[in-house]
Amino acid sequence: MIKAFAYSIVVMMLFVLLELAVSRALKKKVFEFFDTLCNLACGILERTFFLLFAVLYYTSFKFMYDHFGLFSIAINWWSVLLLFVAVDFLWYWYHRAGHEINILWAAHITHHQSEEYNLSLSFRVSAIQLIIRMFFWLWLPIIGFDPALTTLIIGINAAYQFFIHTRLIGKLGFLENILVTPSHHRVHHGKNEQYIDKNYGGIFIIWDKLFGTFTSEKEEVAYGITKPMSSKNPMKAWFHYYFDLIGAAKQVVGWKNKLRIMLAGPEVMASYYDSLAKESTINTQSSGALKYYLLLQFSLLFVAFFFVYYYHDVMSKNSTIISASFVIYSALSLGFILDRNRFSFWMEAMRLLCMSICVFIVLQGLHVQYYMVVAIVPLLLFLPWIGKRKALFNKIS
């Protein structure tokens, strides 16, 4: 199962590169360099946490099925179809709740921060959502659906949604009446007043039409959130709204009002944001040298990420934990560089040292020849390079 995820991630990256090539051929700008790298950093972090807790979904479903299952539904064509529809129905309500309840929106907002719209945006999600979603789908094994089949169909539902994050596909004729199409989902990501909180469906658009949250794409979509976030740091992308909620709760008196901030919709945050000083915009312009460095390091990080996913079953537990920790730290360190954080140079220097140590430990565990020579390469190549270009890591005023 986990190896299937590894292959699916490679396929998704190939589609991202294909979309990039097609958009350039059409002379249509749908990617922004730093925004795309932030999307990838968020995705690598989320999927690495998923690897560490991969058994959580299935074991939770299995536990509920074994101990609280009301029925035992046989696997046949009609039960598979029913489960497919039920997964999407619960997705609609999970997704809608994620927009209408602040404490849930804090986890989901990450996916809406980007002002670009392309396939890489599907990677920009928070790992916190992994836990939240599970509670919406736990009802399925309680009803009696097979835990393994439930887990599989949830994966299929998520895979479909990857392909609707594109501007390069227009409206799809009669399919617009049945499925969630790229056009429908573009609307969902719009901050235009008429597009906010619309089109929550995952695969079927029928839920939005039934529950009054549907609207079609008419005027050009302005992507992003109503209070833009200038940072490209994945940790800020994941947690900034939680801090906003805490700040807003401090401004009101009484636990009832504080609780209302958490459970109401994002509209209650308007007065809090009005009280804040305008957030300075981070200048993401940089030299070509830093861009090439980031592109190379993200490429190497993706290889390491795939390596951990593919070989986790033959690696020792310690090697898996060390490798996954390195991937997590790398995504964080590179995210700090995207923001030109004042600690980014030293975090990156430490990351390169950790890279050599991790390569040494993992290759030694796999009994790869010449592992000592391979392990020292990052220190010999990259550390002197960044040392001579320390100024590139400073924030641009």
Q: Is the pLDDT of residue 250 over 70?
A: yes
Placement of tokens 């939770």 in the chain: 60
Predicted local distance difference test score (pLDDT) of residue 393: 84
Q: Are residues 311 and 179 in the same domain?
A: no
The region of weakest confidence among 62-66, 176-180, 378-382 is: 378-382
pLDDT in tens, 88-142: 999 999 999 999 999 999 999 999 999 999 999 999 999 898 889 888 999 999 9
The region of weakest confidence among 130-139, 227-236, 281-290 is: 281-290
pLDDT in tens, 184-217: 999 999 999 999 999 999 999 999 999 999 999 9
State both tokens at 394. Answer: 């400073």
321/324 Cα distance (integer angstroms)? 5
Sign of the Cα torsion 146, 123, 103, 336 reads: positive
The radius of gyration of the chain from alpha carbons, rounded to an integer in Å, stands at 22
Mean pLDDT of 369-384: 79
Q: Is the pLDDT of residue 278 over 80?
A: no
Q: Are residues 196 and 329 in the same domain?
A: no
Mean pLDDT of 310-316: 74
Q: Is 268 within a domain?
A: no
Predicted local distance difference test score (pLDDT) of residue 397: 43
pLDDT in tens, 62-79: 999 999 989 999 999 999
Domain hosting residue 168, numbered range: 2-211
Mean pLDDT of 319-335: 87
Q: Is 221 within a domain?
A: no
Q: Are residues 204 and 326 in the same domain?
A: no
**Choice between 109 and 1, residue whose per-residue pLDDT is larger:** 109
Q: Closest by alpha carbon to 301, among 189, 383, 378?
A: 378
Q: Is the pLDDT of residue 288 over 60?
A: yes
Q: What's the start-to-end Cα distance of the chain, in Å? A: 47
Q: Is the pLDDT of residue 396 over 50?
A: yes
Sequence-distant contacts of 181-188: CB under 8 A, at least 24 apart: 181/205, 183/216, 183/217, 184/208, 184/216, 184/217, 185/161, 186/117, 186/217, 186/221, 187/215, 187/216, 187/217, 187/221
Q: Are residues 292 and 198 in the same domain?
A: no
Q: Is 236 within a domain?
A: no
Q: Are residues 195 and 337 in the same domain?
A: no
Domain boundary among the residues 154, 177, 211 is at 211
Predicted local distance difference test score (pLDDT) of residue 2: 63
**Choice between 393 and 397, residue whose per-residue pLDDT is larger:** 393
Q: Are residues 169 and 71 in the same domain?
A: yes
Mean pLDDT of 281-290: 67
* Packing angle, helices 128-137 and 55-68, rounded to 10: 20
Q: Is 269 within a domain?
A: no
**Choice between 389 and 367, residue whose per-residue pLDDT is larger:** 389
- Burial class of residue 200, CB neighbours in 10 A (0-12, 13-18, 19+): buried
Q: Are residues 199 and 345 in the same domain?
A: no
Q: Is 272 within a domain?
A: no
Q: Is 226 within a domain?
A: no
Number of folded domains that form the chain: 2
Half-sphere exposure of 70 (CA within 13 A, CB side): 5
Domain boundary among the residues 151, 181, 211 is at 211
CB 98 within 8 A of CB 188: no
Q: Is 283 within a domain?
A: no
Q: Is 84 within a domain?
A: yes
Mean confidence (pLDDT) of the chain: 89
Domain boundary among the residues 211, 233, 260 is at 211
State both tokens at 2. Answer: 């986990």
Predicted local distance difference test score (pLDDT) of residue 55: 67
The backbone torsions φ and ψ at residue 195, rounded to the nearest 5 degrees and listed phi first, read: -100, -15
Q: Is the pLDDT of residue 372 over 90?
A: no
**Choice between 74 and 378, residue whose per-residue pLDDT is larger:** 74
Q: Are residues 190 and 298 in the same domain?
A: no
Cβ-Cβ contacts under 8 Å for 70 (sequence gap 6 or more): 142, 143, 144
For every residue of 132-153, DSSP letters joined together read HHHHHHTHHHHHT--HHHHHHH
